[in-house]
Amino acid sequence: TIIPSQLTAMLHQCWDFSQKCLVASQIDFIRLRKSALASLQSGNKKLALNYARELKLVTQSREKCSSLLNRVEEVLSVIADAESTKKV
């Protein structure tokens, strides 16, 4: 069985991973957007469309990471509240 301290540690690791995921997806988003615009300006519509598809995937991934991060923060907050109530 998992004890509360292990659960909290696992949630912190999940939170850390989600944060890194958001940063990486933001970097990818910026890179892909610049590449898509450059491709459009050079007249390569096919390549620009490929970049646009990748942008969509990165955006979806970022939304999932953000949702996970928010949920983990909610659970950690509930745990912290429960622990502070228990100590009083």
The pLDDT tens digits for 6-38 are 888 889 999 899 899 999 999 999 999 999 999
Confidence of residue 88 (pLDDT cuts 50, 70, 90): very low
Tens-digit pLDDT profile for residues 29-81 = 999 999 999 999 999 999 999 999 999 999 999 999 999 999 999 998 988 88
- Tokens of residue 66, six digits: 């953000």
Burial 44-76 (b: 16+ CB within 10 A, else e): eeeebeebbebbeebeebbeebeebbeebeeeb
Helix or strand (DSSP H, E) at 69: helix 45-87
- Which pTM value belongs to this model? 0.75
**Is residue 87 very low, low, confident or very high in pLDDT (cuts 50, 70, 90)?**
low
Report the pLDDT value the prediction gives residue 63, as an integer from 0 to 100: 93
Element (H, E) at 59: helix 45-87
